[in-house]
Structure 1
Amino acid sequence: MELIYKGKTKDVYEMDGGNVLLKFKDDVTGEDGVFDPGANTVGLTIEGAGKSGLRMTTHFFEKLIEKNIPTHFVDSNIDEVTMTVKKAEMFGRGLEVICRYRAVGSFLKRFGAYCEEGQPLNAFVEVTLKDDDRKDPPINQDGLSQLGILSIEDYKKLEELTKEISGIVKDELALKGLELYDIKLEFGRHIETNEIMLIDEISGGNMRVYKNGVYISPMELEKLVLA
């Protein structure tokens, strides 16, 4: 296999046959040693975080496949901390799509003059450009269209998929007495079919989850969800 990309939390390898292998790492995003799913830098290393994230990701991708939602997931190997996925083409240099149910994180920092911390939001969807140097700037559908990154029609599909996927995750967590505050998703196009599909991962590392108002860490979340 050929290493094609070293990411913050995963390394990406080209496989024979056209698929891609993701190797999950124990590095997590954050700042000053504190975990933050919205950060664009590696903040700390937590032993077992990669395997924990892969277990959660496998669980949720299998749920989505049951509901015929397009994803890049093929299979995973928990022992080797790897996931085989379909090859995808990114939108531009990559987009992150956030679905928010509570006003926390960067949303609160930007709009705190108009809301209170933890204020309920109705599946508010926002898109940011993956750009570490510019701190992942937010962009709307007109901007995406005019810059040739994503058509208005595809944006609507992206938003629809984001709300559907986030709702499934939210409902699944609620069964365990957990509340999803926000979740960060990534999408791409299948290289062969051109279909928009969910890529990357769905784990505690890309969501904020609380129980009775108390934040649940990613590895603790995995134990609660998969218990």
Structure 2
Amino acid sequence: MNKIKLIYEGKAKKVYETDDPSLAIFEYKDSLTAFNAQKKDTMQGKGRLTNLISATFLKLLQDKGIPTHFVKLLDDNHQLVKRLKIIPLEVVVRNTSTGSLCKRLGVEEGLDLVPPLVEFYLKNDELGDPLVTEDHIRAFGFASKPHVEKMKELCLKVNEILSKYLFERGIKLVDFKLEFGMDDEGNIFVADEISPDTCRFWDLTSKERLDKDRFRKDLGNVLEAYEEIWRRIADWDKSCSAEYRANILVYLKEGVLDTQGKAVLSSLHSLGYDEVKNVRVGKYIKITLTSPSQEDAASRVKEMCEDLLVNDLIEEYSFELEEI
């Protein structure tokens, strides 16, 4: 599937037309924005994490019967999605009081909301995405009553699925934003993304924030928080992943005394292999791993080598990677 033309570029993604008119490609960017793009930054690797996390959540929802626009993961920064007519509303589900809700109503942060609150916001950057009521939505034709009811129904199902899924991984789903789109037959799908950019995640035990609030509030360690979310969910979506075998060769750097190599050379000479002039002895390591893409698998193998498998003071390494 090839990118044909850039259709749209937003704060976090680029959307491309493909050679199939029913499909589009999302490219996740490394940019971070807050307060309607008044605060901006770029963090290398952030696009990869939001792409992988969103793909995992969307695939999970599909497996549970929720219609989404997700088709497949293409690589670390790209995913293939259905082209839809986007409904101009953002739907926010709140399980815990925080953020704009506390500011708007003057309520205490951290209150559990049972049942969860469902709020609608008009997608309009110039107006600051204002809160709207269902009466506003019907009066101005932003969406029909059946579509509003369907969006609410899907939001509450998504909340139930993701809350349970994340709770099992030590994460509290505080709130999240969903967007929706329609196909040519009028069917509604969950669209856009589900990631730390669009959700609030708190560690169940420490209450540490693991989402874009770290950027909004200047808490630091933004990328580390996204990585922590990915670490906790990465092993649970095998359907988004493939299996790879890494064949790793570790060997001493040139100039480092190789006593084992000298011993082998001496033994070869004693057996009559006098044509052998030098021997360097290394170690061979074979690792099998699951990963959403070959690019991601290669990155993880590199991390393993540098964190554990190779002494970078005296050793070098190379590896080959194959999908199995």
Q: Does the alignment reach a TM-score above 0.5? A: yes
Q: Does 1:118 align with 2:122?
A: no
CA RMSD of aligned residues (A): 1.3
Cα deviation for residue 45 of structure 1 reads: 1.4
Aligned partner of 2:7 in structure 1 is 4
Cα deviation for residue 101 of structure 1 reads: 0.6
Aligned partner of 2:196 in structure 1 is 204
Give the counterpart of 1:187 among 171, 180, 184: 180
Aligned partner of 1:103 in structure 2 is 97
> What amino acid sits opposite 1:82 in the alignment?
H
Give the counterpart of 1:157 among 150, 155, 159: 150
Deviations 1:31-78 (A, max 9, x none): xxxxxxxx4216221211111011111111111111221111111123
Aligned partner of 1:214 in structure 2 is 208
Distance 1:210 1:158 in 2: 25
Give the counterpart of 1:146 among 139, 142, 150: 139
Deviations 1:131-170 (A, max 9, x none): 1111110111111011011112211111010111122111
The unaligned stretches of length 5 or more in structure 2 are 211-224, 236-324
The unaligned stretches of length 5 or more in structure 1 are 31-38
- Moved segments of 4+, more than 4 Å: none
Question: Identical aligned pairs, as a percentage?
Answer: 34
Q: Aligned with 1:176: secondary structure?
A: coil
Q: Aligned with 1:203: secondary structure?
A: coil
Distance 1:184 1:226 in 2: 21
Using a 3 Å threshold, how does the CA distance of structure 1 residues 55 and 209 change in structure 2: closer, same or farther? same
TM-score between the two structures when normalised by the length of structure 2: 0.63
Aligned partner of 2:84 in structure 1 is 88
Aligned partner of 1:167 in structure 2 is 160
Cα deviation for residue 226 of structure 1 reads: 1.9
Output aligned runs, 1:1-40, within 5 Å: 1-18=4-21, 19-30=23-34, 39-40=35-36
Distance 1:152 1:193 in 2: 17
Aligned length: 213
Distance 1:45 1:107 in 2: 27
Distance 1:23 1:187 in 2: 19
Aligned partner of 2:125 in structure 1 is 132
Q: Aligned with 2:135: secondary structure?
A: helix
TM-score between the two structures when normalised by the length of structure 1: 0.89
Cα deviation for residue 193 of structure 1 reads: 2.3
212-221 vs 158-167, which moves further: 212-221
> What amino acid sits opposite 1:204 in the alignment?
P
Please say which structure displays the higher CA radius of gyration: 2
Is the 2:15–2:24 Cα contact (8 Å) retained in structure 1? Answer: yes
Larger relative contact order (CA 8 Å, sep ≥ 6)? 1
Is the 1:61–1:73 Cα contact (8 Å) retained in structure 2? Answer: yes
